Protein backbone atom coordinates (compact mmCIF):
# COMPACT_ATOMS: atom_id res chain seq x y z
CA UNK A 1 0.00 0.00 0.00
CA UNK A 2 1.40 3.41 -0.96
CA UNK A 3 1.52 6.28 1.51
CA UNK A 4 -1.19 8.02 -0.54
CA UNK A 5 -3.43 4.96 -0.30
CA UNK A 6 -2.77 4.62 3.42
CA UNK A 7 -3.64 8.27 4.04
CA UNK A 8 -6.89 7.83 2.12
CA UNK A 9 -7.73 4.63 3.97
CA UNK A 10 -7.17 6.22 7.37
CA UNK A 11 -9.29 9.25 6.50
CA UNK A 12 -12.06 7.15 4.98
CA UNK A 13 -12.26 4.72 7.91
CA UNK A 14 -12.28 7.48 10.51
CA UNK A 15 -14.99 9.26 8.55
CA UNK A 16 -17.12 6.13 8.40
CA UNK A 17 -16.80 5.73 12.16
CA UNK A 18 -17.85 9.35 12.70
CA UNK A 19 -20.94 8.96 10.50
CA UNK A 20 -21.89 5.74 12.29
CA UNK A 21 -21.52 7.45 15.66
CA UNK A 22 -23.89 10.27 14.67
CA UNK A 23 -26.42 7.72 13.41
CA UNK A 24 -26.10 5.72 16.61
CA UNK A 25 -26.63 8.72 18.88
CA UNK A 26 -29.37 10.21 16.69
CA UNK A 27 -30.93 13.66 16.58
CA UNK A 28 -33.81 13.11 18.97
CA UNK A 29 -32.14 14.10 22.23
CA UNK A 30 -28.39 14.32 21.88
CA UNK A 31 -25.92 16.40 23.86
CA UNK A 32 -23.69 18.37 21.43
CA UNK A 33 -20.78 18.47 23.89
CA UNK A 34 -20.99 14.72 24.40
CA UNK A 35 -21.16 14.07 20.65
CA UNK A 36 -18.12 16.29 20.05
CA UNK A 37 -16.06 14.48 22.67
CA UNK A 38 -17.11 11.06 21.45
CA UNK A 39 -16.42 12.01 17.85
CA UNK A 40 -12.91 13.26 18.58
CA UNK A 41 -12.11 10.13 20.58
CA UNK A 42 -13.61 7.67 18.09
CA UNK A 43 -11.81 9.09 15.06
CA UNK A 44 -8.51 9.24 16.97
CA UNK A 45 -8.88 5.62 18.01
CA UNK A 46 -9.47 4.46 14.42
CA UNK A 47 -6.45 6.28 13.01
CA UNK A 48 -4.10 5.50 15.90
CA UNK A 49 -4.92 1.80 15.85
CA UNK A 50 -4.45 1.54 12.08
CA UNK A 51 -1.12 3.36 12.21
CA UNK A 52 0.05 1.08 15.03
CA UNK A 53 -0.69 -1.90 12.81
CA UNK A 54 0.36 -0.58 9.40
CA UNK A 55 3.13 1.94 10.15
CA UNK A 56 4.40 1.10 13.64
CA UNK A 57 7.77 2.81 13.20
CA UNK A 58 6.30 6.15 12.16
CA UNK A 59 5.70 8.95 14.64
CA UNK A 60 2.39 10.79 14.99
CA UNK A 61 1.37 14.38 15.70
CA UNK A 62 -2.36 14.52 16.43
CA UNK A 63 -4.69 17.13 17.85
CA UNK A 64 -6.26 14.42 19.99
CA UNK A 65 -3.14 12.84 21.53
CA UNK A 66 -0.20 13.98 23.67
CA UNK A 67 2.66 15.32 21.58
CA UNK A 68 5.61 12.99 21.03
CA UNK A 69 8.80 15.04 21.38
CA UNK A 70 10.77 12.37 19.49
CA UNK A 71 8.81 13.14 16.31
CA UNK A 72 10.96 16.22 15.58
CA UNK A 73 13.96 14.00 14.89
CA UNK A 74 11.97 11.29 13.09
CA UNK A 75 12.13 10.47 9.38
CA UNK A 76 8.37 10.01 8.99
CA UNK A 77 5.58 11.71 10.93
CA UNK A 78 1.83 11.45 10.41
CA UNK A 79 0.12 14.77 11.12
CA UNK A 80 -3.56 14.20 11.73
CA UNK A 81 -6.70 15.99 12.77
CA UNK A 82 -9.15 13.15 13.39
CA UNK A 83 -12.14 15.50 13.33
CA UNK A 84 -11.63 18.98 11.91
CA UNK A 85 -14.77 21.01 12.43
CA UNK A 86 -15.90 19.35 15.65
CA UNK A 87 -18.43 22.14 16.16
CA UNK A 88 -20.05 21.54 12.77
CA UNK A 89 -20.02 17.77 13.28
CA UNK A 90 -22.34 18.15 16.27
CA UNK A 91 -24.64 20.78 14.76
CA UNK A 92 -27.71 20.77 12.54
CA UNK A 93 -28.26 23.19 9.67
CA UNK A 94 -31.24 25.49 9.15
CA UNK A 95 -33.26 22.64 7.67
CA UNK A 96 -32.68 20.44 10.72
CA UNK A 97 -30.19 18.13 8.99
CA UNK A 98 -26.75 17.23 10.28
CA UNK A 99 -24.14 19.70 9.02
CA UNK A 100 -21.75 18.33 6.40
CA UNK A 101 -18.92 20.91 6.54
CA UNK A 102 -16.47 18.93 8.69
CA UNK A 103 -13.51 16.76 7.70
CA UNK A 104 -10.86 14.21 8.60
CA UNK A 105 -7.25 15.24 7.92
CA UNK A 106 -4.40 12.75 7.45
CA UNK A 107 -0.97 13.88 6.20
CA UNK A 108 2.46 12.28 6.07
CA UNK A 109 5.55 14.43 6.55
CA UNK A 110 8.95 12.98 5.64
CA UNK A 111 12.38 14.46 6.18
CA UNK A 112 13.23 14.17 2.48
CA UNK A 113 10.00 15.46 0.95
CA UNK A 114 8.15 17.51 3.57
CA UNK A 115 4.45 16.87 3.03
CA UNK A 116 4.75 13.63 1.09
CA UNK A 117 1.15 12.39 1.13
CA UNK A 118 -2.20 13.50 2.39
CA UNK A 119 -5.92 12.89 2.37
CA UNK A 120 -8.90 14.98 3.37
CA UNK A 121 -12.18 13.16 3.82
CA UNK A 122 -15.52 14.97 3.80
CA UNK A 123 -17.48 11.98 5.09
CA UNK A 124 -20.95 13.56 5.08
CA UNK A 125 -20.42 14.40 1.38
CA UNK A 126 -18.93 10.99 0.58
CA UNK A 127 -15.73 12.54 -0.75
CA UNK A 128 -12.07 11.78 -0.14
CA UNK A 129 -9.42 14.03 -1.71
CA UNK A 130 -5.99 12.46 -1.85
CA UNK A 131 -2.52 13.09 -3.22
CA UNK A 132 -1.06 10.78 -5.82
CA UNK A 133 -4.10 10.59 -8.10
CA UNK A 134 -5.19 12.51 -11.20
CA UNK A 135 -5.52 16.28 -10.84
CA UNK A 136 -8.96 17.67 -11.75
CA UNK A 137 -9.08 20.56 -14.25
CA UNK A 138 -9.56 24.05 -12.83
CA UNK A 139 -11.56 26.91 -14.27
CA UNK A 140 -10.06 30.39 -14.35
CA UNK A 141 -11.02 32.56 -11.36
CA UNK A 142 -13.75 35.10 -11.99
CA UNK A 143 -13.00 38.85 -11.81
CA UNK A 144 -14.94 38.99 -8.53
CA UNK A 145 -13.16 36.49 -6.32
CA UNK A 146 -14.93 34.20 -3.86
CA UNK A 147 -13.08 33.77 -0.55
CA UNK A 148 -13.77 30.88 1.85
CA UNK A 149 -13.93 32.23 5.40
CA UNK A 150 -14.71 31.05 8.89
CA UNK A 151 -18.45 30.97 9.51
CA UNK A 152 -17.99 32.12 13.10
CA UNK A 153 -14.88 34.29 13.45
CA UNK A 154 -13.20 35.67 10.29
CA UNK A 155 -10.23 37.76 11.39
CA UNK A 156 -9.82 41.50 10.86
CA UNK A 157 -7.16 40.83 8.25
CA UNK A 158 -9.37 38.49 6.24
CA UNK A 159 -12.31 40.89 6.32
CA UNK A 160 -10.07 43.71 5.13
CA UNK A 161 -8.67 41.53 2.31
CA UNK A 162 -12.22 40.83 1.16
CA UNK A 163 -12.99 44.56 1.22
CA UNK A 164 -9.85 45.47 -0.74
CA UNK A 165 -10.62 42.84 -3.37
CA UNK A 166 -14.32 43.56 -3.58
CA UNK A 167 -14.63 39.81 -3.13
CA UNK A 168 -17.53 37.67 -1.96
CA UNK A 169 -17.10 35.89 1.37
CA UNK A 170 -18.29 32.28 1.49
CA UNK A 171 -18.64 31.14 5.14
CA UNK A 172 -18.15 27.45 5.96
CA UNK A 173 -16.77 25.18 8.67
CA UNK A 174 -13.59 23.05 8.79
CA UNK A 175 -10.33 24.28 7.27
CA UNK A 176 -10.32 21.11 5.18
CA UNK A 177 -13.73 21.97 3.75
CA UNK A 178 -12.53 25.48 2.90
CA UNK A 179 -9.41 24.28 1.10
CA UNK A 180 -11.34 21.58 -0.78
CA UNK A 181 -13.77 24.29 -1.93
CA UNK A 182 -10.84 25.95 -3.74
CA UNK A 183 -9.91 22.63 -5.34
CA UNK A 184 -13.52 22.08 -6.44
CA UNK A 185 -13.78 25.60 -7.86
CA UNK A 186 -16.58 26.65 -5.51
CA UNK A 187 -14.25 29.35 -4.18
CA UNK A 188 -11.07 30.94 -5.51
CA UNK A 189 -9.12 31.27 -2.27
CA UNK A 190 -8.98 30.56 1.43
CA UNK A 191 -7.24 33.19 3.53
CA UNK A 192 -6.88 32.53 7.25
CA UNK A 193 -5.09 34.51 9.93
CA UNK A 194 -6.97 33.72 13.10
CA UNK A 195 -4.76 30.97 14.53
CA UNK A 196 -4.27 27.32 13.59
CA UNK A 197 -2.04 24.35 14.37
CA UNK A 198 -0.07 22.11 12.03
CA UNK A 199 -2.81 19.46 12.01
CA UNK A 200 -5.38 22.00 10.80
CA UNK A 201 -3.57 22.63 7.53
CA UNK A 202 -1.10 19.79 6.81
CA UNK A 203 -3.43 17.43 4.93
CA UNK A 204 -5.39 20.18 3.15
CA UNK A 205 -2.13 21.81 2.04
CA UNK A 206 -0.72 18.49 0.80
CA UNK A 207 -3.85 17.90 -1.30
CA UNK A 208 -3.92 21.52 -2.51
CA UNK A 209 -0.30 21.38 -3.64
CA UNK A 210 -1.01 18.16 -5.51
CA UNK A 211 -3.86 19.98 -7.26
CA UNK A 212 -1.49 22.78 -8.32
CA UNK A 213 -2.80 25.47 -6.00
CA UNK A 214 -0.68 28.19 -4.42
CA UNK A 215 -0.06 27.61 -0.68
CA UNK A 216 1.86 29.83 1.76
CA UNK A 217 1.64 31.79 4.96
CA UNK A 218 0.09 35.26 4.81
CA UNK A 219 3.54 36.87 4.61
CA UNK A 220 4.38 34.70 1.58
CA UNK A 221 6.78 32.42 3.46
CA UNK A 222 6.70 28.64 3.26
CA UNK A 223 4.45 26.51 5.42
CA UNK A 224 6.83 24.33 7.45
CA UNK A 225 5.65 21.20 9.23
CA UNK A 226 6.95 18.90 11.97
CA UNK A 227 8.30 21.88 13.89
CA UNK A 228 8.62 21.41 17.66
CA UNK A 229 5.91 24.01 18.26
CA UNK A 230 2.73 22.82 16.51
CA UNK A 231 1.39 26.40 16.23
CA UNK A 232 1.07 27.47 12.56
CA UNK A 233 -1.42 30.31 12.74
CA UNK A 234 -2.04 31.52 9.19
CA UNK A 235 -2.59 30.16 5.72
CA UNK A 236 -3.32 31.16 2.13
CA UNK A 237 -4.55 28.67 -0.46
CA UNK A 238 -5.61 30.03 -3.82
CA UNK A 239 -5.87 29.48 -7.54
CA UNK A 240 -2.44 30.40 -9.00
CA UNK A 241 -3.94 33.00 -11.31
CA UNK A 242 -5.65 34.70 -8.38
CA UNK A 243 -2.44 34.82 -6.34
CA UNK A 244 -1.18 38.27 -7.46
CA UNK A 245 -4.49 39.86 -6.46
CA UNK A 246 -4.55 37.99 -3.16
CA UNK A 247 -1.01 39.00 -2.18
CA UNK A 248 -1.63 42.64 -3.16
CA UNK A 249 -4.78 42.72 -1.02
CA UNK A 250 -2.98 41.11 1.94
CA UNK A 251 -0.17 43.67 1.67
CA UNK A 252 -2.71 46.51 1.63
CA UNK A 253 -4.60 45.04 4.58
CA UNK A 254 -1.48 44.46 6.68
CA UNK A 255 -0.39 48.08 6.30
CA UNK A 256 -3.82 49.47 7.22
CA UNK A 257 -4.05 50.90 10.71
CA UNK A 258 -5.78 48.77 13.27
CA UNK A 259 -5.72 45.57 11.22
CA UNK A 260 -4.42 42.56 13.08
CA UNK A 261 -3.32 39.31 11.47
Same domain for 173 and 112, yes or no, is: no
Same domain for 51 and 80, yes or no, is: yes
Domain extent at residue 33: 3-130
Looking at residue 199, its pLDDT comes to 98
Same domain for 75 and 161, yes or no, is: no
CATH number at residue 193: 3.40.190.80
Tell me the whole-structure pTM to 2 decimals: 0.94
In sequence order, the β-bridge partners of residue 119 are 106, 130
List, for the chain, all residue ranges whose pLDDT scores fall below the cut of 70. Answer: 257-261
In a domain, 135, yes or no: no
In a domain, 138, yes or no: no
Looking at residue 261, its pLDDT comes to 46
Looking at residue 138, its pLDDT comes to 74
Q: How many domains does the chain have?
A: 2
Same domain for 126 and 26, yes or no, is: yes
CA angle 130, 136, 142 (to 5 degrees): 120
Same domain for 60 and 116, yes or no, is: yes
Torsion angle, CA of 65/66/72/74, rounded to 10 degrees?
-60
47-101, pLDDT tens digit by residue? 999 999 999 999 999 999 999 999 999 999 999 999 999 999 999 988 889 999 9
Amino acid sequence: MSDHDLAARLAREAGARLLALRDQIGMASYDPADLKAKGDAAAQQVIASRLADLAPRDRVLSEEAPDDAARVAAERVWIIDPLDGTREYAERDGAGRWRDDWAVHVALWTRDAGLAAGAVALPARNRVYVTGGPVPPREEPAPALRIAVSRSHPSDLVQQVITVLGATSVPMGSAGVKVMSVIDGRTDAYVHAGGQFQWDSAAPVAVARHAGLTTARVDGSDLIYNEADPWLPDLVVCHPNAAPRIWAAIAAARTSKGIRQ
